[in-house]
Chains A and B, each alone.
Chain A
Amino acid sequence: MRNPTGSPHLLVAEGLSVGHGGAPVCAPVDLRLGAGRALAVVGPNGSGKSTLLRTLVGLLEPLAGTVAFDGARVDERAAAFRRDVAAVLDDDAFFVSLTGREHLLLTARGHGVAAPEDVVDAEVAAFGLGERADALPSALSSGQRRRLALAAAFVRPARLLVLDEPERRLDAGMRARLAARLVSLRDAGTAVLFASHDPDVVGTAADEVLVVDDDACRLLAPAEAADRIAEL
């Protein structure tokens, strides 16, 4: 029923040019990401990683080229797309009157997760939020708010998980646990796409690395990309 093209790839971008106001921010991108694979996007600040991710999840229109998810053109308005794709980008927005736990419960219930309280409790513990989960977002530190936003991606089902610099504002221990979570998700069959500046997270979780640049965007194996990441 799904994926009418029969392609084994969940996310496919061809000749994708991304940018703002008609001006591309990086070279055109071609990528294919299948279920159970993880792709890291690396590049210096301002190279267009976030713009690329926002375009891939349908929040920005491509300047040229195409993006398809599960064989159909990406349309973030479609309920099926939103059911299948979890994205944590650079947003730091919360309902001021809802606690962290309520945000997670809202997300879990909105996705029809069975036993949402148990799932939320587990993720609250996994992301080290503990009792702070019952505080309002304004009472959380920026790192705790980041953990909360990331936890929301794990209390719901997703076939594709997209994260923009998930390591940002996290301590070293949390970064390592996050990388391990990404690996287990990937191994369970979820496609994972993330932008990162952290060589450890990239080395642990990624099967392939897309290096974004003005001149050309290249796909490399993590070992090949290690030097490039270190330069950044």
Chain B
Amino acid sequence: MSTTTGLEVSPAPLDGAAVRRLTRRATAARAQTTLATRLGDAWGGLVSAAIGVAVAGGSLVSLREEVALAGAPVTGTTLPASLTSAALAVLALAGTVVVLARLGPVSATPAAAAWWLPLPADRRGLLRGELLRLTAAAVAVAVLLTLPLVLGGAPAPTGASVLGGLGWAGSLAAAAVGGTALLQSRRRGRGVADVAGVVAAAAAVLPAVAGTLGAADGRLLDVPTAGALPGWLLGAGTVAALVLIGQADRGLGRLDAGRLLAGGATARYAGASLLSLDTRHLGRALAGRDRPPRRSRRFRRARQPWQAVVAGDLAVLTRGRWQLGQLAVAAAVPVVVARTEGLGALPPAVWAGCLLGWGLAATAAGRPAREAQAAPELDRLFALSAAAVVRSRAVLPLAVTAVVCTLSGLLLGVGTGAAGTWTLLGPAVAPAWAAAALRGACRPDPDWSGPAVSTPMGVLPAGVGATLVQGVDVGVVGSLPLLAALLLGGPTPLLVAVQLAWSLLLAGAVLAQLGRRRTAG
């Protein structure tokens, strides 16, 4: 058959699978790796994973033993551990769905978009390998993360309970991939990410509210125990996951190039951020586009340069797609940990819950500063010294962390008889977390030239680690008086005063250091 370009063509060009094979063979022909090196890499990966599972499982066993020996809870515990576990599972699943939806989940690399998609080959055949790889990766990660939980979380794990737990994790992961891919093919990917985000926030907030209401009544929530789930249900779940994958596979032909390319760009950005251990870029990659503004802001109240900085930061924060939900989760996490039966009796666990929650708040509150760090010329727009810009940029994180920490403290104090002191603890610790937000946002890029430390799980770059902890370190150190309060049975006015003084001291030091750094830069 002749064409207008003068080329003779066959009536049956290559199909999608053949195009994939052709590309793979051409790539493999040039690959530097041998079978032995691949086997070696696989073995090394397996050993690292096994060590990681063993360490995590051992920590869980140790935690269970500590819970058994623990004394009275710091605050009233009203949430059964099973309820918190279920909420955690929902949170993990919803978070997985959000990430999958952000990545596509099926996507095309820029090269595949440029060279595969314009071919008249069937798109389903071209993309099937991507869907299967993604499913296998999701199942493998889910199984690896669940293994320490099923081994160390139960007093006497049996073969059936371990296999059942792993089966559920694998099925849910496969169903998440299949479901999001199916919705992607029906152009509802963005919607599913939003819904999953709301579910994730609800999974943290609702138990916190329920636990607080229970504390007001002074009783443990009555949750019906379902016992072990029957095997047939796991079988049905697995079949449902396979059906979803099958349906998603059928819908691959409907995926359009623009979205495949956008997903590929996101996946590439996220992958590169992960490999370079730069969590700031990873967050940017997964956060997605901001909400389109309904109207342009006029910033009428910004009459001074510092007010313009604050107003700009506020606009950035409120336009973020996930920030408000993240703040709600941040306030809830310390409450859920403290109100959970067993965990609530361990002051270090409650402290860790506070660090986790308030760290999330600092991450959300630090977003405008991170944006400014990525575009430093914005800071030079105004007639403000570098130190004044840093001080202005601290206003919003301070306000946000103060609200979140105060809310957490208020909810923690319900039913303890010292609600006022608990509530005051929030604003007392907030300056430290606001400083953590700024320090984390303005930290330098990871330094890969530092010394490497050999560990049983492989070589760790110490220079990178020292950079990555910048920000969190101030939050952790700044919350040490809180740990003392928890170990002593609860906050006292003196401890609150110490906490406030310590937070302000650290915050002042961080602001001074950042101001100097920017002036020097």
A residues with a Cβ closer than 8 A to B are 21-22, 35, 58-61, 76-77, 79-80, 82-83, 86-87, 91, 93-98, 102-103, 106-107, 109-115, 119, 149, 152, 154-159, 185, 188-190
Contact = CB atoms under 8 A, between A and B. Distances in A.
B23 A106 contact: yes
Interface string B2-22: 011111111111100001001
A95 B115 contact: yes
Contacts of A157: 3-5, 7, 9
B219 interface: no
A92 B39 CA distance: 34
A55 to B, nearest CB: 10
25 contacts: A21-B292, A77-B254, A79-B120, A91-B110, A91-B114, A93-B111, A94-B114, A95-B111, A97-B30, A97-B31, A103-B115, A106-B26, A106-B115, A107-B118, A110-B14, A110-B116, A110-B119, A111-B13, A111-B120, A112-B10, A114-B8, A114-B10, A149-B114, A156-B5, A185-B5
Given A94-B111, A96-B111, A110 B27 contact: no
B253 A35 contact: no
Nearest to B9: A112
A83 B112 CA distance: 17
A114 B9 contact: yes
B128 interface: no
B286 interface: no
B319 to A, nearest CB: 13
A159 B114 contact: no
B4 A159 contact: yes
Contacts of B257: 58-59, 76-77
Contacts, number: 120
Contacts of A80: 120
Nearest to A82: B120
B194 interface: no
Given A98-B27, A112-B14, A113-B9, A79 B4 contact: no
A92 B110 CA distance: 8
Contact of A95 (B10, B27, B256, B261): B27
A197 B422 CA distance: 67
A133 B19 CA distance: 20
Residue among B5, B27, B120, B257 with the highest chain A CB neighbour number at 10 A = B5
A110 B8 contact: no
Given A22-B292, A97-B31, A110-B119, A188 B5 contact: yes
B121 interface: yes
A110 B4 contact: no
A110 B13 contact: yes
Given A59-B258, A114-B8, A109 B115 contact: no
Contact of B4 (A113, A149, A189): A189
A78 to B, nearest CB: 9
Contacts of A188: 4-6
A97 B27 contact: yes
- Judged by DSSP, the binding face of A is loop
B114 A110 contact: no
B120 to A, nearest CB: 4
A76 B253 CA distance: 11
B99 interface: no
B23 A98 contact: yes
Contact of A94 (B8, B31, B115, B121): B115
Interface in B110-135: 110-123
Sorted nearest first, the 5 A-B pairs with minimum C-beta distance are A112-B13, A93-B110, A157-B3, A110-B119, A112-B10
B255 interface: yes
A80 B9 CA distance: 14
Contact of A190 (B5, B26, B254, B256): B5
B33 to A, nearest CB: 12
A94 B27 CA distance: 12
Given A79-B120, A80-B120, A109 B5 contact: no
B114 A77 contact: no
Nearest to B11: A112
A110 B253 contact: no
Given A82-B119, A87-B118, A114-B7, 16 more contacts: A59-B261, A77-B253, A79-B120, A94-B114, A97-B30, A98-B27, A102-B26, A103-B115, A111-B9, A112-B10, A115-B8, A155-B7, A157-B3, A157-B5, A159-B4, A185-B5
Contacts of A155: 7
B122 A79 contact: yes
Contacts of A152: 115
A190 B2 CA distance: 13
Given A59-B257, A111-B120, A95 B7 contact: no
Contacts of B122: 79
A35 B13 CA distance: 24
Nearest to A59: B258
Nearest to A187: B4
Contacts of B12: 112
B119 A111 contact: yes
A154 B258 contact: no
B4 A35 contact: yes
Given A102-B26, A119-B7, A110 B111 contact: no
A172 B31 CA distance: 37
Nearest to A36: B4
A160 B402 CA distance: 61
B31 to A, nearest CB: 7
B26 A98 contact: yes
A203 to B, nearest CB: 23
Interface in B84-127: 109-123
B113 A156 contact: no
Residue among A22, A77, A96 with the highest chain B CB neighbour number at 10 A = A77
A174 B416 CA distance: 81
Contact of A60 (B26, B254, B258, B292): B258
Contacts of A103: 115
Contacts of B254: 77
B168 to A, nearest CB: 36
Nearest to B19: A110
Contacts of B10: 112-114
A60 B109 CA distance: 18
B5 A77 contact: no
B23 A95 contact: yes
A168 to B, nearest CB: 16
A226 B117 CA distance: 36
B158 to A, nearest CB: 47
